[in-house]
Copies of this chain bind each other. A is one copy, B any other.
Amino acid sequence: MHAHSIAMLGTGLIADFYARSLHGQRGADRIRVAYSRSEERGQAFSDRWGIPSHTISMQAAIEHPDADVVVVALPNHLHEEAVAAAAQAGKAVLCTKPLGRTAAEAKRMLAAVERAGVFAGYLEDLCYTPKTLKAVRSVRDGAIGDVTWVRSREAHPGPHSAWFWDGRLTGGGSIIDLGCHCIEIIRNFAGKANRPVEVLCTTATLVHPIEDEDNAIALIRFESGAIGQFEVSWTFRGGMDLRDEVAGTHGTIWLNHFLRTGFEMFTAGGEKGYVAEKAETAAGWLFPVGDEVAELGYVDMFTDMFSSLDEGRTPQETFYDGYVVNSVMDACYRSAREKAWVPVELDWRGGTTPRIVAKPTFYDGQIVIKRELLPDGRDKLILKDPETGDLSDRVITPGA
């Protein structure tokens, strides 16, 4: 293991999450220099996390001689510039989500790092939650058969900083903010070699006085026939709703990353000014999460990134994945405008995936639609005549 020195670009909420992961526990990697547009915020961030230096020059941070890895934790409209500069400087670069505001932007960023030959990782934390990693492994091991449907849902009452609400800076609304997570979670379950073929999306601005969507629902049809479904909302009440459901031909997986994960607290409310941690209420039933940076995937994400860098292998989440996500989001916005299924336009490198298997079995020359065990030990079959299409019930003794 090689201990890395990091130039952190940005000092906002996401940079705080990253620093808490990197400097938390007994990690060997350390932030060496922080860049903020504001001298004060740079100072405060460095004080908070014990960082030896900070600067208001992005270029200076990237070129800091001791830093070998650049982490981009900036608002969306600054990603491309930062990645280009890091690639130019020959540094490894890790970029927060979404990669770009559009697929075109993401594609230029992908080209930049590939041209420079630098290591590049896409910081999609929610694909690295411990539950997701283990669940994806189970799916690959065949535990639920072929994946037929994946629902990924992310919803909360809206982002905490002003720039998130300005589509000119971000590229959109709740899809750009939250949908990028969902799409890549769906891809991990459906299989990264499973091409997203077409998209159907509907958006609405229901509650907040903004132009961009505060709610969206989308369907993604994959090459295998599997359907991805995501729901994103900036108008959800009650905390943070972060759940995934995966259906397969032989099984089911349900993941919950936040509310109701084994920590439940009721408080009649505070004497002595006690305020509980979570936004919506300071009293009543609360559902805290133990170690947020671990549960949300930040810890495993950085482990994969730095260990991949050490070992010369490709990380789980790459700039190419970021580009695919942007391509799907572009298709979502197009579909919502056109109110129709639209193809995902994409420079596909991912290979092919066969259609979901559904081979009929036969009994006595009839197609078996369903077989179930009766309480008396016999089997009930629902059969279909291949000629007439007529259906019938039949009860048989097993082995027969």
Contact = CB atoms under 8 A, between A and B. Distances in A.
Interface residues of A, number: 129
Given A26-B29, A225-B204, A266-B251, A341 B341 contact: no
A49 B298 CA distance: 23
A286 to B, nearest CB: 8
Contacts of A358: 206-209
B229 A252 contact: no
A261 B262 CA distance: 5
Interface string A229-272: 10101011111010000011111111111001111111111111
A131 B260 CA distance: 12
Q: How many copies does the complex hold?
A: 4
A28 B27 CA distance: 6
Interface stretch (A33-41, A346-354, A383-391): A383-391
Contacts of A300: 25, 291
A138 interface: yes
A16 to B, nearest CB: 14
B208 A369 contact: yes
Given A26-B1, A284-B283, A383-B162, A209 B267 contact: no
A114 interface: no
Contacts of A221: 202
Contacts of A59: none
Nearest to A233: B247
Contacts of A256: 262-263
Interface in A315-371: 339-341, 356, 358, 360, 367-370
Nearest to A303: B25
Contacts of A158: 369-370
Interface stretch (A96-104, A116-124, A188-196, A273-281): A273-281
A210 to B, nearest CB: 7
Contacts of A160: 372, 380
B270 A247 contact: no
Nearest to A339: B341
Contact of A369 (B168, B209, B231): B209
A90 interface: no
A263 B290 CA distance: 15
Interface stretch (A64-72, A105-113, A143-151): A143-151
B268 A264 contact: no
Nearest to A374: B275
Contact of A267 (B231, B251, B373): B251
A247 to B, nearest CB: 6
